[in-house]
Structure formats: C-alpha cells, structure tokens
A and B are shown apart, each in its own frame.
Chain A
Amino acid sequence: MSALDDRLRSAADAVHQQMEHLSVPEPGVALLDTAGAGRAATGHRARPTRALVAFAAAVVVVLGASAVVGLARRGSHRGSAFSIAVLAATTQRQSVRMRITAIRPMTFELFPATKSPPGPPQIEISGDTGVYDFQRNVARREIQGGWGKSTELLIGTHVYVSLDPEIAASLPARLRNKRWFEMNGSTDSFTPLPFDPLAQLRQDPGTTSIQDLGTTQIGAETVHHYNATGPKTRGGSLDIYVDSNNRLNRLRFVLNFGAGLDGGMQMDFSDYGVRVNVTAPPADEVVPATDLPLVESAIANHIH
C-alpha cells in the first residue's frame, strides 16, 4: 500500500464522513426541504434564489402562450433545487387535468416586440382549464382572459390556437373562414412557448426556504401542505399541496413584482390518468403560416 494511496483513502474517508452529515432529501415530497435543511446541515447558508420568479414564469407560460413571451423571458432564471423538480416530474408521469385561476388579475403584454404606437397591447388573464398528457405530448386548454376565451391544442410539436370569430371577421376575405392559427415560430411575436406548464419547475426550480405545514383537506383529498417563502423584495409566497402519491394537488402563489406585474395564481391538479383526446383542426380552417402577421395585427387591433 503506497503512501499516496493511503493519503487518498484517508482523504476519501474524511469526505465520506463529511457527507454523512449531509441531509439526504427525500425524493418527491421531502425533497422540498433540500434547500434549507441540506445546506444548514453542512454549515452553508442557503443561497438567495429566484425560485418564485421562475415559478411565475412557468405559470405565466401556462396562461398566456404567445401573449406572454416577454414576461417569460424576463423570468428565465437559473435555479437549482431538485425538490420541486422531482415533484413536477412525478406529477407528469400521468396525464392530468389542470385548472388555473388567477388570485388577482394578471396583466400581460401581448406581442412584446411591437414597436409602433401605442405599443404592445395589454391583456388580462383570469385563468385556464386543460388536460395534459405529457407522455404522449398532447394537451388541450381553454384560456379565459379579458379578450374572451381561446382554446389551445398541443399535438406533438404543433400548437394550434383558436381564432375568435370576431377577429377572423376583420381579416381579409380569404381568411374569414379560418378558426385556428398555428404557432410555429415563423414570426417574432408568435414564438411558440413550451406547452408544458411544469417544464420550468422541472428544469429551473430554484431554492428557497420551505416550511412543512402538515396535512390538510382539499375536497375529499388529504394532502400535505408546504409553504415556500421567496426573497422578501419580491414579496412572494408559494403554497404547495402534495397528495399521498407525491403528486401535486395544488400550487398557489402570490407575487409582487410591481409595475403591473403583480399577481397570484392557483393551479389545481385532478383526474390523474385522465384520457386526453386531441385531434388537429381541419387544415382548411388553419391560417397559413405566411398570413400570421395579419392575425397578429388583427388581434392587437381588437384588444387596443
């Protein structure tokens, strides 16, 4: 046995001993404690993070699709906690029904790239309901906002958005029978966003201090309640309710960004395993990609 090997083995033992003091987060639910408990046990301060901002971006993605490209980009931060990521991943192993309700009205800029006066139109979003099958990558959601209601369909890589008949009526005659347009990234404004509302949570969960508040009832379900408090300057708070199978039952957050970006959101998850049937709209009802700029300006005019 060489002296160097001895040194390396002894140093490795010291590392193992040090790791023994490391809290092993529970996969799934208990991983929510990773940030606080794990770091505390190893004597390191949990770093300030922007989890709630990332979370807001995730929810915003759910709500607005093309409408909120600007905000989603602003909220695109790097985070690190495994906890919520695992929870989100567990949740998505099955299809699920998701209802999203704005706790306070949320206002977003539509077509943030718009340069010409009066600038990007503002829209208010009150919520949406949808069914998602993340394994097959199909989903349908109905978005409810200040402008009315729209339906979005996800089929593989295709995202179709319903076109309000009133808006369609303002289009050139050849497009008036169209009921859908496809977000295909061919223009700046219609950048398709991930249809997956938990994508950001899985990849970008961030860390924050998380409190275990024990069990509570939501409807007939007994769920575990956690509260995450974000950086004080953001005034954010996130409540996470997890069912006995380590799946999300409810997420609720309130955010204080100022500048018209204040808001709150509740996401309710139900019907795990729900069958999601989505078919593409007939091709002759879809606005050709080359005409998307016309749709964009028609929507902007309608809202302004």
Chain B
Amino acid sequence: MTTTLLPKPRLVDRDALRDIAPMLLGMAPFGLLIGLTVGSHPVGPTAGMTSAALYYGGTGHLAVLQMLAAGAGPPAVLAAIIAINSRLLLYGAALAPRFAAHPRWFRWVGALTLVDQTYALSIARPTLAGRAFRRYWLSLGVAMGLGWLAAHVVGLLAGPVLPAWLPLGIAAPAVLVGLLVPALRTRTGRVAAVVAGTVAAVAAPLPTGVGTVVGAVAGIVAATLVGRRS
C-alpha cells in the first residue's frame, strides 16, 4: 500500500463549506441587523465588531447590545448573556464524547466556534473522527465566522445610507420572535415562554434587565416542573 492511494490532504474541507453555505445565507439578515445596531451604538463600531467575532453568535450579542443601550446594570446583562447562551453548555455536553479523543489544543480552540449551526452539522456527520473531524470542524468554524462578520460589515456600511423612515427598531425583537417560535411546538416550550413573558412584563418596572432575568427564571422553573409531571 502506498500513500498515493490516499486522498491528498487539503487544508480546507469542501464538504464543510458546502454544508455551511445555506446556513450562512439564512443568517445573513441577522448579521446585517447587528451590523446596523453596532453602527449607531455607544460602544462604537470597533468594539462592536470585535465583540461580534468573540461572541460568535447573534442572539446573545444583540441582547447585550440592546441592554447596554437601554442602560441596564452589569449584573443583569451578564445574567442575561449566561442564560441566553447556556444552550452552548448543552451542545458541549452532547459533543464532549467526540471531543474527548482529540488533543487538548483542539478542545480549547474548537470550543471558540461551538454554536447552533456547527453543533447541528457535526451531529449530522457522526462518523467523522480524528484529523478529518478536526479539519471539518475548523473549516466550518472559519467559514461561518468570515461569512457572519461580512454580513455585519454590510450592515455597518449600509446603516448611514438607509432612509430614516424605515422602522428598524422592530427588526431586533422580530428576530427574537423568529428564534422563539420553533420552541413553542412543545408543551414545556410554551409553558416556559408564557410564564417568562408574563412575569417579565409584570416585572418590567424593576431596573432595566432585572425584570427580564426574573421572568426567565420563573419560566425555566415552571417548565422544569411541568416537564417532571408529564
């Protein structure tokens, strides 16, 4: 057996690019919206774009930007970001057995790009292992990061050109609605949403951000209890 029969090792996994491309198209409007938000945000475009790369996920980043602009206190913002991104813990738990076989550097670096899309795509390819898995994972991560940031840049540049009468303020909560709706197909999801929304609305007069966290905790507890009963 000679090595010539083996496929030539490539730096970039083309399957990863093919898999991530349609997801990037779907996420582009969301990235654009965050780019727009960053363009007029008090933290400024440099910090806004750097943090976009580090957060590597729009929901949490957008929530933090909105809460900061509304004047929420640091504890409320941090509680909100931990709550929103706690699903990453779940993904970590699910992928941990596969990551366990890889070198330490990959577990620490690979974690940077763990997000809904990379999780879902790697679960869909359960046989990938070793170097092939690392190449797939890193190709996914870099391609998605570049596409995601490119959408931000378009939003950042388009912001000043857009007409002032466009009611763009509604776009961010509309995206949150779009993310919430699929979760309403289960009973516990509906319980979590209804209880959290009601409590947060009632608690809204509390300092900015506190009502959101109180509502979220109430929803999580209610759905956990309902989930135990059924």
A is bound by B = no
Task: List the interface of chain A (C-beta within 8 A of B).
Answer: none
Task: List the interface of chain B (C-beta within 8 A of A).
Answer: none
